[in-house]
Amino acid sequence: MFSIVFATVILPLPLIGDGTMRFFLLFLLAPMAAVALDLTEQQRADIEARIQPFSAVCVQGETCGGGEAMADAAGRSGEDVYNGACMACHAAGIAGAPKVGDQVAWVDRIAKGMDALYDSGINGVAGTGMIARGGCADCSDDEIRWAVDYMVDSSR
């Protein structure tokens, strides 16, 4: 941050007299840069966790932790997926989404069959506010199906 400020603000300034303004700004901004770099270990760990690569290559014989991540993802119930993504629209009926628990709004949809509802959940519905996977990019097809099952069971 300091280097950006230095390069864009301080260096282009014309010299005023013997460069007093340039030195004044330099000594005024230098302590701010030092404060910005003073992070706690927890803050540094949080930053490192946020900038980790999306995926990693796992070579046979190495411990990669992929199995744990898969087990965690497989552990999400339909209700968990609903609460994490679907609820944003289906709790309030936003953009024409049928409210969970509203039997009248769901009766025609349920009559089309579960496969049609699963397809709508996974691929979205063209011309409506229903986007693919309800915006849950990291949800598997099975998790979307479980969320659909949860909504239908709660709306019968």
Domain ranges of the chain: 2-50, 77-153
Which is higher by pLDDT, 16 or 32? 32
Residue 109, amino acid: R
Between helix 103-111 and helix 114-123 the angle, nearest 10°, is 100
Q: Give the 3-state secondary structure of residue 87.
A: helix
pLDDT cut 70: percent of the chain above it: 65
105 vs 91: CA distance, rounded Å: 13
Which is higher by pLDDT, 148 or 46? 148
Q: In the predicted model, is pLDDT for residue 39 greater than 90?
A: no
Q: Which of 97, 150, 141 is nearest to 119 (CA)?
A: 141
**HSE-up of residue 103 (Cα within 13 Å, Cβ side):** 1
Q: How many CB atoms lie within 10 A of CB 73?
A: 13
**Tell me, what's the pLDDT at 16?**
54
pLDDT digits (tens, 9 = 90+) for 96-149: 999 999 999 999 999 999 999 999 999 999 999 999 999 998 999 999 999 999
**Tell me, what's the pLDDT at 64?**
67
Q: Contact 118/148 with Cβ under 8 angstroms?
A: yes
**Paired tokens of 150:** 């949860």
Eight-class DSSP state of 133: G
Q: In the predicted model, is pLDDT for residue 29 greater than 70?
A: no
Does CATH place domain 77-153 in 1.10.760.10? yes
Q: In the predicted model, is pLDDT for residue 59 greater than 80?
A: no
**Paired tokens of 82:** 């609903």
Of the listed ranges 27-31, 69-73, 74-78, 96-100, the least confidently predicted one is 69-73
Query: Rg of the chain over CA atoms, in angstroms?
Result: 26
